[in-house]
A = this chain, B = another copy of it.
Amino acid sequence: MDEFELIRRYFDRPVTSPGATQGVVKGIGDDGAVLMPTAGFELVQVIDSLVEGVHFLADADPSDIGYRVVAVNLSDIAAMGARPRWMTLALTLSGQDPHWVEQFAAGLHTAADEFDVVLVGGDTTSGAAVVATVAITGEVEQGKALLRSGAQIGDAIFVSGSVGDAAAGLQLLSHKAQDDFLTARFCRPTARIHLGRELSGRASAVIDISDGLVGDLKKLLVASEVGAEIDVDRLPLSDALRQRFSADEQRNFALTGGDDYELCFTADPDRVKDIAGVTAIGVVTGGQDLVCMQDGNIVDYDDSGYRHFQ
């Protein structure tokens, strides 16, 4: 099957949702897509790749890979407070059969459909291993994009959902063990688009947690030129994580495990008190670094970042 046939069969499909087709002047099938932006909005542009052997194993479910490459990009859109609109796909294959491509495309469309994102173009190539790259264009009201750089001393620090699940799920997968909740948290992360939209104009700084809470919060602190203190006992942990792992493992997954794709943000607590599904875990300080406290003691952590399968 050549590239043209591959695209026609699996990627170029009728879009039924009015929200998804709005603004698409010309989608798949020309040298580029033509899109009508919304007056008064700025664009948010993101790009992220998933690589075989690094972000997923060769025998991973292709529909999960398709879902996840969209979700990780949507998570960046969420962290900017934007609404996702259009996406393009660059897919390098290494001899996958049509069934694999069909499943990949199904997962990709599932993730996109959740937020009315439409695939408007792409490029398929062959190579030594699978690399899936998605670029998404979002829109945000002019001047309302959420950056990493606005955290103020005294702001509270929040995280959405629960942390550590994805890294725990990945460890289970690596050992051929199973826990439906935890492995789904790794394979099919939830992009916090709605939360990002709620935070627009209210949070002082936002980042998504892809490399681990500690590592990503530190990036936010550097960008904002502040320090922080967080309380490990206040970290939101899922029941599944608590049941399957020791207290030390829970803490390590929550602090430094990657791939959660939750949002970590700073805000005046009064401005976000009506927002559900988020937990206050600490405070922004005038210090130089991030301090993690537990039972009144400073916790050491390995902040070398998450290394996936390598």
A131 at the interface (CB under 8 A from B): yes
Whether A80 lies near B44 (C-beta < 8 A) is no
- What are the interface flags for A86-123 relative to B under an 8 Å C-beta threshold, 1 for contact and 0 otherwise? 10111010000000000000000000000000001111
Q: A171 interface residue, CB < 8 Å from B?
A: no
In the complex, A142 has a CB within 8 A of chain B: yes
Beta-carbon contact of B123 and A127 below 8 Å? no
> With A37-B37, A80-B32, A90-B48 in contact, is A137–B53 under 8 Å at CB?
no
Complex contact B47–A90 (CB within 8 A) = yes
Contact across chains for B42 and A142 when beta carbons are under 8 A apart: no
With beta carbons under 8 angstroms apart, the residue of B45, B53, B54, B122 that contacts A120 is B45
Given A90-B48, A90-B90, A126-B310, A42 and B25 contact (CB-CB distance below 8 Å): yes
Task: Using known A-B contacts A126-B310, A145-B34, determine if residue A47 contacts B121 with beta carbons closer than 8 Å.
Answer: yes
Contact check, B223 vs A32: say whether CB atoms are below 8 A apart: no
> Counting chain B CB atoms within 10 Å of each CB, which of A32, A77, A127 scores highest?
A32
Task: Tell me the bound Cα distance from A49 to B120 in angstroms.
Answer: 16
Cβ contact within 8 Å between B49 and A90: yes
Whether a CB of chain B sits under 8 angstroms from the CB of A225 is no
Distance, CA A121 to CA B46, complexed state (A): 7
Q: Which of B44, B45, B80, B223 contacts A29 (CB 8 A)?
A: B223
A121 touches B53 (CB 8 A): no
Copy number in the complex reads 2
Is B49 in contact with A123, judged by CB distance below 8 angstroms?
yes
**Closest B residue, CB atoms, query A49:** B90
A37 close to B43 (CB less than 8 A): yes
Contacts of A283 in B (CB 8 A): none
Residues on B with C-beta less than 8 A from A36 are 42-43, 142
Query: Is the beta-carbon distance between B133 and A49 smaller than 8 angstroms?
Result: yes
The docked-state distance in angstroms from the alpha carbon of A48 to that of B36 is 21
A36, A44, A208 interface centre (most CB from chain B within 10 Å): A44
Q: What is the interface of chain A, defined by CB distance below 8 A to chain B?
A: 2, 25-26, 29-37, 39, 42-49, 51-55, 76-77, 79-80, 82, 86, 88-90, 92, 120-123, 125-129, 131, 133, 135, 137-138, 140, 142, 145, 147-149, 206-208, 223, 305, 310
| 8 extra interface residue pairs, beta carbon distance < 8 Å, beyond A51-B127, A55-B125 | A29-B148, A31-B208, A32-B46, A37-B42, A39-B39, A43-B137, A47-B122, A49-B92
